[in-house]
Chains A and B, each alone.
Chain A
Amino acid sequence: MLIIIFMAIILFIADLVLGSVIISLKDFWEILQTQGGETYLHKILFNFRIPRALTAVAAGMALSVSGLIMQTVFRNPLAGPFVLGISSGASLGVALIIIGFQAFGWFSAFTVLSNWAIVIAALLGSGLLLLMLLIVSTRVKDIMTILILGILFSSSVSALVSILQYFSPEGALKSYVIWTMGNLGNVTGDQLFILWLAIGIGIFITLFNGKRLNIMLLGEQYAQTTGVNIFQFRLLIFIATSLLAGSVTAFCGPIGFIGIAVPHIARLIFKTTNHFILVPGTLFLGAAILLLSDIVAHLPGSDRILPINSITALLGIPIVIWIIFKNRNLSQVF
């Protein structure tokens, strides 16, 4: 665990100094010591790098932990933070304001795509879909049915997004597609505070439910016999997931892969199913992996950047394949 925390800290610093403009460690140290400096390196560090690295840490932690609890609750190794339809709901919200308003000539307050407009649209979209799923889940006992319903809801929302895409002018389509590729560098100031607040609450709820998560691995019926209130538990976990994955998706777009892969990597490293170890482990591992992806995406020394989503997948998939070959089986815990 200490090694992973150490790794996360090193990667955090690396993410601050490496980028299109490479800051030497000496300069980095000097900038940190001078207060209110006005050099452009100072501005780049405080206005671009630090917010981005803090966002990467927050997003890495949130997605990995929400992936972990979804895998536990649904007892399915393929579950991830987005099985509840969070990313498709957010996509619909964002597609509506980026494409819908242009394609159907609804111009009003949204001719300019302000940062907040996108965040709010994403939150409304995912909130709406989650609410639908919650209402259904009070009527459905079986957790697998909820999983399937979540996938069905997501698919129908994706179909709506496809229709919007089909009718969209090229410029708007490109803006939307770029949004779906994820981005860590757009969250600053108040937004960063809100993101961390939402994630803090989400992590707190998760840790608070650590014991019940451990019991859930033995099956819902068993958990019920030990006195776990299944509905209350589900509600809490769904709220935690929507805070964790929902806020990240709203601020950074749908960042894939981390949420599914990191929990598996954590389970294999720590060789345990105890959530009191797994949750902190996933938190730091998720942060470290997303920081690493961010460094690679910024192609240190070059003028260009790559979309973060492609990097998380390209970087993460070989890791998972390697682990599978080493351990042969990912699902023994379920």
Chain B
Amino acid sequence: MRFILLMCFSVILVFSCNHKKTKRQVESTNKYARHFIISEKPDYTLITINNPWIDAQDIQYQYAVLRNENSKAPNGINIIPLSPSRIATISTTHIAFLQVLNELDNLKAVSSKQYVYSEKFHQIDSKESVTEVGFDTNLNIEKLLELNVSVVFLYGISNEIEPLRKKLLRAGIIPVMIGEYMEQHPLGKAEWIKVFGAIYNKKELANHYFDSIANEYQKLAQETTKSKSKPIVFTGLPWNDTWHTPGGNTYTAQLIKDAGGLYVFHNDTSSINFQYDLEIVYQRAAKADFWINTGTAGSLNDIKGMDERLTLFKAFANKNVYNHNKRKLVGGGSDYMESGVVKPHLILKDLIQIFNQTDSAELYYYQKLN
């Protein structure tokens, strides 16, 4: 009896581990993105998502988009319905991707509408109401079923997302794991448009869009290499004596570098955000030229109100403080967070203008704090 139980148990173990097993890496044709691969099979397009969160190791999700209704995909691969018309998402960045492909009207549910910036979204919402289904792992699956949603775009920050993913599968809803936030290059994030392009059978549009913004971005970045002086830049705000700041190998660090700035933590090699002692940031950034991405602070007074000592920075004294809150709604919806993913060239353009001190009225996402 014990043997049989043991056998059953091991069989369950083997099967439950199966879908995550590392498969041989397929050569990626992506220019910047590292966390997905799209490959064409005779009957379907295979989308492979790799390690979509920070601690993920050898985690892989595979999805098939069938050529037509009669095509078939191997077992164990989730099949995404053809051009899904009833979808939900838990991230506003996904809304930006959908909007570029003009597929936003398929969106029936989001986590919270107040965090969405997109004007187009709010137009659709006013016509036929989009439903709120809760945050992250607290997603209301019954509601999703009632709405007849067939695909949910998810993101995970750890494997705590797994139970939710499995629950959705059991409910017959395909959870598509999107990991664009893991990309370290701004164009890597934008390249995820290709995943949405594959799902909606708009590959050409997606490729064309990506190539054109990548061109634009590289052209701008190329020009900054000509200038000799590099302004020193630091980012973020402290919370409780600790300064949360991106590592030297992150999205933000890359943007600063491409815009011709020198990030105070550029020597750091990590690709995640770090906590530094306030003293250390003061030591390194006291004389920095520019202070950007000041979180919730929308004015110099806000910064002063958080901590009087923040006024000691040279960038503060010279009023060279900028935040990406020009396009932000009262409810919290931030366009920088949302459409910034698909328009990294505009972020770069802003930063170049900031570092060269050209007219700040021209800025798109950023504004100068007063």
* Contact B277–A305 (Cβ < 8 Å): yes
Interface residues as binary, B276-300 with A (CB distance below 8 Å gives 1, 0 otherwise): 1111101100100000000011100
CA–CA, A19 and B283, complex, Å: 12
* Contact A304–B239 (Cβ < 8 Å): no
Count of chain A residues with a beta carbon within 8 Å of a chain B beta carbon: 37
Classify chain B's interface size. Answer: 20 to 34
Interface membership of A188, Cβ < 8 A: yes
* B275 to A, closest residue via Cβ: A304
* Contact A47–B240 (Cβ < 8 Å): no
* Contact A186–B279 (Cβ < 8 Å): no
* Contact B138–A116 (Cβ < 8 Å): no
* Contact B309–A179 (Cβ < 8 Å): no
Whether A20 touches B136, Cβ cut-off 8 Å, given contacts A112-B305, A183-B241, A188-B307, is: no
Q: Which of B112, B277, B331 sits near A303, CB closer than 8 Å?
A: B277
* Contact A186–B282 (Cβ < 8 Å): no
Interface membership of B306, Cβ < 8 A: yes
* Contact A44–B282 (Cβ < 8 Å): yes
* B305 to A, closest residue via Cβ: A114
Interface residues as binary, B243-284 with A (CB distance below 8 Å gives 1, 0 otherwise): 000000000000000000000000000000001111110110
A120-177 CB contacts (< 8 Å) to partner B: 166-167, 169-170, 175
Collect the chain A residues with CB atoms within 8 Å of residue B162's CB.
none
Give chain B's interface secondary structure class. Answer: mixed
Q: Which of B112, B275, B297, B309 sits near A48, CB closer than 8 Å?
A: B309
A184-208 CB contacts (< 8 Å) to partner B: 184-186, 188-189
Interface membership of B223, Cβ < 8 A: no
Interface membership of A40, Cβ < 8 A: yes
* A182 to B, closest residue via Cβ: B240
* Contact A105–B306 (Cβ < 8 Å): no
* Contact A115–B275 (Cβ < 8 Å): no
Interface membership of B312, Cβ < 8 A: yes
CA–CA, A34 and B275, complex, Å: 32
Residues on B lying within 8 angstroms of A by beta carbon are 112, 114, 135-136, 138, 157, 239-242, 275-280, 282-283, 286, 296-298, 302, 305-309, 312, 330-332
Would you mind naming 21 contact pairs between A and B with Cβ atoms under 8 Å apart? A21-B279, A43-B312, A44-B279, A47-B312, A48-B309, A102-B332, A107-B332, A111-B296, A112-B302, A113-B306, A114-B305, A114-B306, A178-B240, A178-B242, A179-B240, A185-B241, A185-B278, A186-B307, A188-B307, A253-B240, A304-B275
